[in-house]
Amino acid sequence: MEFVNLMVNCNPHLYTPLMKVGDRFLSSEYFKLGKSNQFIDWFIKLCFSKKIKKGEFLLIEGDKCDKIYYVEKGIIRIFRTEESKEITTWFAKEGDFVTNANSFHFDKPSRENFEALEDCVVYGTDRATYRFLIEKSSSFALFSVHELFYNLCEFENQCEFLRSLTAKERIDYISENYPYLLTRVKNKYLSSFLNIETTYLSKLLANKKTSN
């Protein structure tokens, strides 16, 4: 299917148990050795690091999100509440950048929560610093545009496979494209994301394990 091919082309980030922010920049075609090292040192000095324990929140619905975070270690669940029901919309892992786009760009209250599913380490930068870096570094500007399109691809493919695939096909799809979700995320959160009843999800996963 077309959207599967698009995901492969847009997803250069392989899962690693730890990816430092400097290594993340250097893995990009927009940063090379030499002057890039100077920018990375500068970037790190302008950022802050934060440790978040499992179960703690990086962002709470209703608060404004004026920061972009880089996940160096751990996995974060992104979810919103509707009629007292939690709806998981995505997961950010090592090597990912995460923010609430509407809140960050338009200075609106966030409709989402960011919850640490594991002990996490993140780097953060505020809106003013981010814009300053964009203006000062063409490499960082190009890198940011690439990340924007990468996340647009993620969102497009997410919408497509959740709409068009059967429950079993959704499991097969994430098994191939996001295998870490099956080992690091509880079934109740995964079922919320996939829009599959938890008991039925458990049955599908058991059948898949048996068939393998």
Query: What pLDDT, in 10s, does the model give residues 5-26?
Result: 333 333 444 445 567 888 888 8
The set of residues, in sequence order, having a beta carbon less than 8 Å from that of 210 and lying 6+ positions away, is none
* Model confidence, pTM: 0.85
Q: Where are the alpha helices (DSSP H) in the chain?
A: 2-10, 21-26, 35-46, 101-106, 127-136, 138-164, 167-177, 180-184, 187-194, 198-211
Q: What is the pLDDT of residues 134-163, one digit of tens each?
A: 998 888 999 999 999 998 998 898 888 888
The length of the chain in residues reads 212
End-to-end CA distance of the chain: 23
Burial label for 192, CB within 10 Å (0-12, 13-18, 19+), is buried
Q: Give residue 43's pLDDT.
A: 85
* CATH top-level class of 16-146: mainly beta
Q: What is the pLDDT of residues 160-176, one digit of tens each?
A: 888 899 999 999 999 99
Q: What are the residue ranges spanned by the domains of the chain?
A: 16-146, 165-212
Q: Give residue 106's pLDDT.
A: 96
- Is the confidence at residue 73, as pLDDT, over 90? yes
How far apart, in whole angstroms, are the C-alpha atoms of residue 193 and residue 89?
A: 6
- Is the confidence at residue 199, as pLDDT, over 70? yes
Q: Give residue 35's pLDDT.
A: 60
Two structure tokens written together for 136: 């000062």
Asked if 116 and 74 touch (Cβ cutoff 8 Å), the reply is: yes
Asked if 89 and 80 touch (Cβ cutoff 8 Å), the reply is: yes
Mean pLDDT, all residues of the chain: 87
Q: What is the pLDDT of residues 43-60, one digit of tens each?
A: 888 899 999 999 999 999
- Is the confidence at residue 110, as pLDDT, over 90? yes
